[in-house]
């Protein structure tokens, strides 16, 4: 004798091209749902059990009322009641800049196209996005295709979409925050900053560079400004009397000029006397044609340079001419950090301020291997010796 079915499940016979087939209609109306159909009895029973359990906890969302992940994210940047509309409004309110907004949009694109369970995450209904699904399907798929840091950044946006869905009451429980998920640990390897670049290495590059690029390279190496900050720099923000450059603007990847990367990136950076003298001469040599937009480092036409122009057209040829290994433009910023730590022996807190890092943990993460220098370690050892009664 077959087991009696629950009152909420009714078998129905449907005609198909291959004959008749039995399906199961699950009545979830008393839980606030509809009457979804499942192709197997096991799936029907599982859905009913889930509805009962979640209804008991007050977290049940009917499948037919649940939007997909892609629908919550939104197809367009300003689609009403979408996550994309929400972050656009956040950007317009000044909660973050255009660069971060662009990163969030790119992460949304990656997430919606992520292959999971034979489909894309964008097609998965939100009611199906449980902690186990995230841990066993989403996280492995994401970190399989991206580096650990990139994967974590994208997953951070995934968590923001989940939080937004809860605010919209598409889900009752946040499966990321309310339940614990574990991300893959970053692989142990060589720090991506690499070893310190010697001063004579940098000076050789500067002397070998075309005069048009030499000043740009020198300024980057001895101020630590990001490329976008240096490109957008105007003479209004260079105080040659006080030996200070004020970082107030930055060139974004989308091609516009706006505020720097973060609030911490808005800062004042001190200039050395030799660099100030070079800047005075540099300004005097600028023709009215080049100076018409008040840029400190304008392109040949007086406007912003094409992206990668300084690296490909100036830095790489200078490295080749100097007979040294090629470096990236961002390595000039790392060189400045090394000057602060080794030559000036400043604290990591000062480095954080001058580099415009978001917080001190960023500085320690990037330059922690440099902070562990021999002189400091020897001084600590000597102090410990005296504290223990030694000579």
Model confidence over 46-99: pLDDT tens digits? 777 766 665 545 444 555 667 899 999 998 877 888 999 999 998 888 887 777
Q: What is the pLDDT of residues 86-104, one digit of tens each?
A: 999 988 888 877 778 888 9
Residue 378 has pLDDT above 90, yes or no: no
Provide the pLDDT confidence category of residue 216 given band limits of 50, 70 and 90. very high
Choose the weakest-confidence range: 123-127, 171-175, 212-216, 374-378: 374-378
At residue 79, the pLDDT reads 83
pLDDT for position 387: 66
Mean pLDDT along residues 232-238 = 95
HEC per residue, 163-197: HHHHHCCCCCCCCCCCCCCCCCCCCCCCCCCCCCC
**Using 50, 70 and 90 to split pLDDT, how confident is the model at 278?**
very high
Q: Give yes or no for a contact between 139 and 181, defined as CB atoms under 8 angstroms apart.
A: yes
- Judged against a pLDDT cut of 90, whether residue 267 lies above it is answered with yes
Q: Which of 254, 258, 236, 256 is CA-nearest to residue 245?
A: 236
User: At residue 9, does pLDDT exceed 50?
Assistant: yes
Sorting pLDDT into bands at 50, 70 and 90, what band is 190? very low
Write the DSSP assignment of 208-264 as a string of letters. Answer: HS-HHHHHHHHHHHHH---HHHHHT-BGGGEETTTTEEEE--EE-TTS-EES-SSGG
Return the pLDDT at 370: 63
CATH architecture of 199-377: Orthogonal Bundle (1.10)
Q: With cut-offs at 50, 70 and 90, classify the pLDDT of residue 111.
A: very high
CB-CB contact of 264 with 359 (8 Å): yes
Q: Are 168 and 81 in contact (CB under 8 A)?
A: yes
Stronger pLDDT, 313 or 390, i.e. the higher one: 313
Report the distance separating Cα 39 and Cα 20, nearest Å: 12
pLDDT digits (tens, 9 = 90+) for 309-349: 899 999 999 999 999 999 999 899 999 988 888 888 888 78
Determine the pLDDT at residue 202. Answer: 93
In 3D, which of 211, 253, 210 has the Cα closest to residue 231?
253
Where along the chain do its domains lie?
9-64, 66-167, 199-377
- pLDDT attached to residue 92: 87
pLDDT confidence bin for 374, thresholds 50/70/90 = very low
Question: Is residue 283 scored above 90 in pLDDT?
Answer: yes
Q: What is the mean pLDDT of the chain?
A: 83
Instruction: Specify the pLDDT at position 61.
Output: 52
Tell me, what's the pLDDT at 37?
75
> What is the predicted pLDDT for the residue at 377?
57
Q: Kindly give, in sequence order, each residue whose CB lies less than 8 Å from that of residue 108, ignoring residues fewer than 6 positions away.
A: 73, 83, 84, 157, 161
What is the per-residue pLDDT for 361? Answer: 75
Residue 192, pLDDT score: 59
Better-predicted residue by pLDDT, 342 or 28: 342
pLDDT at residue 375 tops 70: no
pLDDT at res. 298: 93
Query: 134 or 175: whose pLDDT is higher?
Result: 134
- At residue 120, the pLDDT reads 95
Query: Of 106-115, 175-184, 317-326, which gets the smallest average pLDDT?
Result: 175-184
Does residue 93 sit in helix, strand or coil? coil
DSSP-derived 3-state class of residue 57: helix
Q: Cα dist. 384→131, 347, 376 in Å?
A: 49, 21, 12
Number of other CB atoms surrounding residue 336 within 10 Å: 20
Percent of the chain at pLDDT exceeding 90: 39
pLDDT at 274: 93
């Amino acid at each position: 004798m077959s087991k009696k079915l629950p009152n909420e499940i009714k078998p129905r016979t449907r005609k198909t091209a291959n004959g008749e087939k039995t399906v199961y209609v699950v009545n979830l109306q008393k839980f606030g749902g509809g009457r979804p159909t499942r192709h197997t009895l096991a799936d029907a029973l599982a859905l009913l059990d889930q509805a009962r359990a979640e209804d008991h906890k007050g977290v049940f969302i009917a499948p037919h009322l649940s939007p997909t992940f892609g629908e919550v994210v939104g197809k367009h940047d300003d689609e009403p009641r979408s996550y994309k509309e929400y972050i656009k409004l956040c950007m317009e309110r000044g909660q973050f800049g255009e660069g971060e907004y662009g990163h969030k949009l790119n992460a949304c694109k990656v997430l919606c196209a992520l292959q999971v369970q034979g489909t894309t995450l964008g097609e998965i209904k939100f009611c199906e996005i449980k902690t186990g699904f995230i841990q066993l399907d989403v996280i492995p798929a994401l970190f399989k295709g991206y580096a650990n840091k990139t994967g974590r950044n994208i997953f951070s946006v995934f968590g923001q979409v989940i939080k937004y869905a809860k605010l919209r009451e598409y889900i009752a429980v946040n499966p990321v925050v309310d339940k614990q998920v574990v991300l893959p640990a970053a692989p142990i390897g060589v720090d991506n900053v690499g070893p310190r670049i010697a001063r004579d290495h940098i000076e050789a590059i500067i002397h070998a560079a075309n005069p048009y690029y030499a000043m740009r390279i020198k300024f980057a190496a001895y101020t630590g400004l990001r490329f976008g900050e240096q490109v957008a720099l105007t003479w209004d923000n260079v105080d040659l009397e006080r030996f200070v450059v004020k970082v107030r603007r930055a060139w974004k990847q989308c091609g516009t000029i706006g505020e720097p990367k973060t609030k911490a990136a808005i800062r004042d950076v001190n200039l050395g006397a030799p660099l100030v003298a070079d800047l005075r001469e540099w300004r005097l040599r600028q023709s009215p044609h080049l100076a018409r937009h008040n840029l400190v480092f304008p392109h040949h036409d007086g406007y912003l340079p094409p992206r990668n122009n300084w690296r490909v057209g100036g830095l790489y040829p200078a490295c080749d001419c100097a007979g040294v290994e090629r470096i990236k433009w961002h390595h000039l910023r790392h060189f400045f950090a090394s000057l602060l730590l080794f030559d000036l022996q400043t604290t990591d807190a000062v480095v954080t301020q001058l580099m415009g890092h978001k917080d001190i943990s960023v500085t320690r993460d990037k330059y922690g291997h440099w902070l562990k220098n021999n002189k400091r370690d020897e001084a600590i050892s000597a102090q410990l010796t005296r504290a223990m009664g030694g000579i």
